[in-house]
A and B are shown apart, each in its own frame.
Chain A
Amino acid sequence: MMAQPEKQEAGQVILSRREALVRLLRAAGAGAGTAGIGAWLSQHSSRPEAGIAVNVNRGHTIPADPVLPEMAIIEGEDPAQLARQALAELGGMQRFVSRGDIVLVKPNIGWDRTPEQAANTNPEVVAEIVRQCLRSGAKRVIVTDVSCNEARRCFQRSGIAAAAQAAGAEIILPDPSRFKDVDLQGEVLSRWQVFDAFLNVDKVINVPIAKHHTLTGTTLGMKNWYGILGGSRNQLHQKIHESLVDLADFMRPTLTVVDCYRILLRNGPTGGNLEDVLLKKTLVASTDPVAVDAYVAKSFWNLEADSLPYLGMAAKRGLGTLDFEKLRTRIKKI
């Protein structure tokens, strides 16, 4: 490698000129490199901010059809059959789901409760919708929710994970590492953590269950969108109506199917007591997310649209109509 320095005395070393030059160059190189890295880094100083997810699909609606019905109200014994019939009345699932679509089905899997307790969407309804999506040629059907209680317990004990998985859906648990900061561009909600499974899908089918809720009277379709959020969503109650409309505006579902097979009349949205559950054996499906909430609130809770301010606000923002009676509606009893 290098010429060995001559040894003169113990501990004393004489450098050759060549060796000294090499050492000098080495030191200069290290110094220049350090200075260069330092200079480069100093130009890249910026206040740290979390990145915002881009390419978010906002709105999953389909073009309005002048003839086909906009709402279907079906009553009958079997939950899966109700879902099948409701979709058939609206013109079949192929109206909503095209070949190759990635479809997200959003039930309410919020609570660690069993189907009979009516705190989560009926698993058979979810499974039937998944099957219909796949039959219409969907590439992937995702079923997920950001639960309130411990997610794995909710997914298992609600029966939804097993039923939807058997129907061919892809179940995604709300993995805490999969939340992204998104600008919701709402009036009260701007930057918020959203579960990324909701961000880049072609079609979204909202499948809430109709339940009692003390703050809004009922929790129906639009309230179900709380389940896309992470972060401190417990703050949303402070402006519940405005935040509901912001979320509904952000998601704009292809279709809303409100499960009224069992409805929770009191002590919602958690329930727990079978005495609070009423068997209604009904399913309401609509392309209009505002009208369907207005209808269910009126017919099962006898609540006018005025007592649910978020409905009026949503209508004003053009998300739908309060006037469900003006919708082309099919009512059927099986």
Chain B
Amino acid sequence: MKRCRHPAFSPGVSVRFLKPSRLRLYSQVLFFGLFLFLLLRTEFRGSLTSSAREIRLPYPVGLFFRLDPLVAVTNALSSHALYQGLLLSLVILIPTIFFGRFFCGWICPLGSIHHFFGSLQSERKRGKQLIESNRYQRWQNTKYYLLVGVLAAAALGTGIVGWLDPFSFLVRSLGLSVLPSTNYSLQAFLRVLEQSQVGLLRGIGGVLHFLLGALVLNFKQPYFRQGIWMGLIFLFVIALNFRITRFWCRAICPLGGLLGIVSRWSVLGLVKDSRKCNDCNRCLLRCQGGDDPTGGVAWHQPECHLCLNCVGACPENALQFRLFPAQAVAGTNLRRRKLLTGLAAGAAAIPIMRSTPGFAAERHERLLRPPGSVDEEFFLARCIRCGECMKVCPNNALQPAFTQAGLEGIWTPVLIPRIGYCETSCVLCSQVCPTGAIWEISAKEKGWSAEAGGSTKPIRLGTAFYDRGRCLPWAMATDCIVCEEWCPTSPKAIYFRPAEVFDAAGNPKQVKQPYLDAAKCVGCGACEKACPVQDRPAVYITSVGESRSPNNQILLNRRKG
């Protein structure tokens, strides 16, 4: 941060590239690139040269969640502990105490996206409006009230912070909506090229396919329920930048609020030389935080992102960042009444959302959680609805919930076997979960396959049931047994009995009719996925018997294993 105290800059190439705001730009590009790379690699891509049996992702794809102090604080509040690696967030939190919200201006990838779109506004056409909109506004305090609300909610046991946490928001929006639609359009574009009558275009298509395949393309087109809403919300939040620069960061982001509050003891500050200031307002043109860098008014330290645009813009060199500045600054200036409102709203959230029978008495029968998930109460407290598990699932089986888990559970992961079943040896969702809502397990602990030593107590997601009115051997005197073929447990949970049935002409016929051994079923959903009755399958999984819950059970003989 010493750079920031650098006096005037003489115009010169090398200096221009080392201008503080340039350095900030490099840092933003670097971290955004890293974020995007990790997000794109939140996927098992397979290897043709490795025959490794335990499949793990080669990169620490959850890095940004581990750096996120808001995730750490809410995880600590809701679980009274810190899950794997969340201690790393101190790397951000402690420097913020000393220097302020450098994270928002230099690192946060969502902030960088807002920065980029905010800077598209034309200074020439809208300069005046820009200057006015970049003055400090009272409503910027909204983020602190939201922060208080989500912290109160976390303390009482719900992870709805993830609806607003910037990384959850970004991973969910990009991973479940923007990237899948990008893949869709790229594939469509490549198809046009590759099916062209012109040889040259086909060649270009082939090369592009290879390059894009190595970089971004998915092996299979992913689909996500509600992806369109996530995408539209994302676009809306981006579009707000065209009215007010970084509206999200200034008014909504609870992480920004947290970092703003802890930066109140910051030893780094903006020093304004009011004798030099001639009120040209150039500092306001590109101000990111809306923190009043202009002369004559107090600087709002908790709002500043340390982007250093003002320092570079001031033609009089009247603005400088100094350690231990001897100048008064304005704090967050929160209203007690509104703070209490936020607190009350957060505290009331749980009782209100759980006042429906869905949470306790009448749980949704299709609420199938990923393998390794903790019991529902703890799950809702820890899960930050970030979508990492859904992004990584190789079968596209994990989908954001809408109604299955109640209002509170919107965007938490549910397994939809008709879209994809849970792959026998796969535990990737448990490896990417940043908060331990899906506790990290190994394939051995999952226990679905004897290869890894086969635990005696497998993790169960639910239990399969037959709809005999739709099942071919039961209802249509037709051979099938695809469910039995796919059943991954050994011995198989699906067995059959030969039965004499009559076809439409009244002729007797032997078919094999399936039955389920609930003591062996792990609820993976392979049978439901494979069932040839395409629309509403004749075999389906419901959550009863899930091993994470002590109450949602059927069989006495399962209690021991």
- Stretch binding the partner chain, chosen from A1-9, A15-23, A32-40, A160-168: A160-168
Q: Mark A111-136 against chain B: 1 for CB-CB distance below 8 A, else 0.
A: 01110110000010000000000000
Beta-carbon contact of A234 and B394 below 8 Å: no
State the CA gap A149–B529 with chains docked (Å). Answer: 11
**Are A148 and B486 also in contact (CB < 8 A) when A116-B451, A159-B51, A162-B49 are?**
yes
CB < 8 Å: which of A112, A155, A215 contacts B424?
A112
The closest CB in chain A to the CB of B195 belongs to A51
A312 adjacent to chain B (CB < 8 Å): no
Closest to B191 in A: A177
Q: Report which of B48, B472, B487, B512 forms a contact with A171, defined as CB distance below 8 A.
A: B48
Q: A275 to chain B: which residues have CB within 8 Å?
A: 450
> Is there contact, CB below 8 Å, between B46 and A152?
yes
B478 located at the interface, meaning its Cβ lies under 8 Å from any Cβ of chain A in the complex? yes
Contact flags (1/0) for B357-396 with A, using CB distance below 8 Å? 0000000000000000000000000000000000000110
Partner of A273, one of B191, B221, B450, B485: B450
Q: Is A274 an interface position by the 8 A CB rule?
A: yes
CB contacts (< 8 Å) of B502 on chain A: these are: none
Cβ–Cβ contact B451 & A274, under 8 A? yes
Determine if A189 is an interface residue (Cβ-Cβ < 8 Å). no
Indicate if the CB atoms of B221 and A176 lie closer than 8 Å: yes
B53, B448, B454, B532: the one within 8 Å of A157 (CB): B53
A239 to B509 Cα, complex, angstroms: 14
Question: How many of chain A's residues touch chain B, expressed as a range?
Answer: 35 or more
Residues of B near A234 (CB, < 8 A) are 482, 530-532
B158 to chain A, nearest CB (A): 33
A152 touches B394 (CB 8 A): yes
Which chain A residues lie closer than 8 Å to B484 at the CB level? 214
Identify which of A123, A162, A272, A273 gathers the most chain B CB atoms within 10 Å of its CB. Answer: A272
Q: Are B492 and A112 in contact (CB under 8 A)?
A: no
* Interface pair A156/B50, CB less than 8 Å apart: yes
Residues of A with C-beta under 8 A to B472: 238
In the complex, the answer to whether B492 meets A153 with C-beta atoms within 8 Å is: no
Q: Does B536 contact A (CB under 8 A)?
A: no
Encode B49-64 as 1/0 by CB contact (under 8 A) with A.
1111101000000000
Q: Which residue of B lies closest to A176 (CB)?
A: B220
Which of chain B's residues have a CB closer than 8 A to the CB of A151?
A: 46, 219
Check if A213 is an interface residue, CB within 8 A of chain B: yes
* Contact between chains at A215 and B55 (CB < 8 Å): no
Q: A157 and B55: CB pair below 8 A? A: yes
| Residues of A bordering B, CB below 8 Å | 112-114, 116-117, 123, 148-153, 155-159, 161-163, 165-166, 171, 173, 175-177, 213-215, 232, 234-235, 237-240, 266-267, 269-276
List 7 additional A-B contacts (Cβ < 8 Å) besides A272-B449, A272-B450: A117-B451, A153-B426, A161-B47, A176-B220, A238-B479, A270-B486, A270-B492
User: Which 6 pairs show the lowest CB-CB distances between chains A and B?
Assistant: A152-B46, A273-B490, A272-B490, A159-B51, A162-B51, A234-B532
